[in-house]
Amino acid sequence: MTEKIAAVYKYRDPAGAVVHETVRYQPKAFTQRRPDGAGGYIYKLKDIEPVLYRLPEITLAIEKSTPIFVCEGEKDADNLVKIGFEATTCAMGAGRWRKTYTQALTGALALICPDNDDAGWKHALHVACEIYLVAEAVKVIRLPDQGKDVSDWIEAGGTAEELMDLADDAPIHMPLEYRREYDEKLKAMGPLQLLEELEWLKTAPIKHQPKLPLIEYQLKFCRQALAHQRRHEKYIRALEESGLMTVKGTLKKAVFS
């Protein structure tokens, strides 16, 4: 059976010039190509730096603080745009994220919408970890179990309003490695430092929201430790006042003096 071109997805630079394209065939297959400068194509992306899909649009969205859906595949991105959202993806799907893509999302409100399979979730969590430090905030959205991806979900009747509700309900994402690193940092702080950190978090960018329960737990631990220390000191004073004293950890009556 001869393959027919079903769609051509153009990847443009910030000025709108085509850098490369993904060609989708029917039956389902894909190939990558780039303009050769003479009206034809070179069917490989070697020697160029690929860009994110819809880069001019997402650059403008970042400037306007408009949320951007990061999905897995051009079809998904286009379907999200059709129902009113800004969306992007990277060429060649899961496992192909680049550092240049991360930099392109600096300052973004990123809503990652993974495919509903192991590879999709692995890719989503990798992207979330990569962009966490540069993005304004990151959320990973879990769609209802209706099909493989967001396109299937939309085809099954999912609406823009429902998707926005799912995005609103999703927690701000903080990668596990950064959570652990921050937790260790908190353990080295004293009570006053913890309170200063808490005050800063109250006005910090929303990406830091997941830190709040960590610092609240550490403050609770510090309060308990201080309360225990005060009870211990009160107990020692009561022993001294009642004529008891401690010698190498053993209580003895003062009558031996």
DSSP 21-80: EEEEEETTEEEEEEE-SSSSEES--TTS----TTHHHHHHHHHTT--EEEESSHHHHHHH
Task: With respect to residue 146, please indicate whether it lies within any of the assigned structural domains.
Answer: yes
For the chain, give percent helix, strand, coil, nearest 5. 45, 20, 35
DSSP letters of 182-231? HHHHHHT--HHHHHHHHHHHHTS-GGGTTHHHHHHHHHHHHHHHHHHHHH
| DSSP state for residue 103 in the 8-state scheme | H
Task: With respect to residue 56, please indicate whether it lies within any of the assigned structural domains.
Answer: yes
Domain that holds residue 237: 178-251
| Calculated CA dihedral for residues 185, 187, 191, 193, nearest 10 degrees | -10
Q: pTM value?
A: 0.78
Task: With respect to residue 210, please indicate whether it lies within any of the assigned structural domains.
Answer: yes
| pLDDT computed for residue 240 by the predictor | 63
Furthest CA-CA distance within the chain? 106
Task: With respect to residue 13, please indicate whether it lies within any of the assigned structural domains.
Answer: no
Dihedral-angle region of residue 152 (phi above 0 means left; psi in -120 to 50 means alpha; beta otherwise): alpha
- Indicate whether 105 and 158 sit together in one domain: yes
| pLDDT computed for residue 243 by the predictor | 58
Per the document, the length of the chain is: 257
Mark which of 142, 173, 204 sits at the end of a domain: 173
- Indicate whether 182 and 148 sit together in one domain: no
Which pair of tokens denotes residue 208? 């830091």
- How many domains are contained in the chain? 2
Task: With respect to residue 15, please indicate whether it lies within any of the assigned structural domains.
Answer: no
Task: With respect to residue 18, please indicate whether it lies within any of the assigned structural domains.
Answer: no
Mark which of 173, 200, 217 sits at the end of a domain: 173
- Indicate whether 157 and 221 sit together in one domain: no
- Indicate whether 106 and 196 sit together in one domain: no
Contact 172, 210 (CB under 8 A): yes
- Indicate whether 185 and 115 sit together in one domain: no
Which pair of tokens denotes residue 72? 């897995």
Instruction: Please give the average pLDDT of every successive group of 10 residues along the chain, which has 257 residues.
Output: 85 96 91 93 92 97 96 96 97 91 96 92 93 93 87 94 94 86 86 85 83 82 68 64 52 42
**CA distances (Å), origin 12, targets 6, 59, 70, 103, 243:** 20, 12, 17, 16, 85
pLDDT tens string 215-231: 887 887 777 766 666 66
- Indicate whether 78 and 120 sit together in one domain: yes
